Structure 1
Amino acid sequence: MHGENHALMFEFPELKDKIHEMKMADTAFCRMVDEYHQLDHKIRGLEMAKIPTDDDNFRHLRMRRVQLKDDIYQQISQ
């Protein structure tokens, strides 16, 4: 869905406390979460501006968000 918020607190509501704890304890994890947040915000802005979804750059941004989300989940589920 276009413009949908994929913030981690909505993607992993049951893990929001753990995400916060890990952000405070691990600077690399914090940077990864920050990159995810900034990327999600940028993608939502592009979607709301009705940027075509077949744009290669837009597709790359969305794939990077998925990759970051997977990496974040792997770290918080260890």
Structure 2
Amino acid sequence: MSHTPHELNEEFPDMIEKMAELKQSDAHFAKLADEYHELNRAVHRAETNVEPTDQFNEEEMRKKRAVLKDEIYRMLTAA
């Protein structure tokens, strides 16, 4: 299996423990992390032509992934 870039553990390597804690204690965070993971895999499959899609759809998936990543980061850094 090829390496999938942009995994959350790579995006936020200094927050791996906090992500694990939030996945257990916060259902909304867990849902966002799952959505991010699924969308990131879909983007990777599109980029590598495993599941090709049109450029517009691929761009929309990337934008949604960025929004999810921003929300996840906000939750990770909230006091």
Normalised TM-score (structure 1): 0.88
CA distance in 2, matches of 1:45, 1:17: 28
> Which residue in the other structure is 1:16 paired with?
16
> Where does structure 2 lack aligned partners over 5 or more consecutive residues?
none
Larger RCO: 1 or 2 (CA < 8 Å, sep 6+): 1
CA distance in 2, matches of 1:16, 1:76: 10
CA RMSD of aligned residues (A): 1.8
- Alignment of structure 1 residues 1-40 onto 2, 5 Å: 5-40=5-40
Moved over 6 A (4+): none
Normalised TM-score (structure 2): 0.87
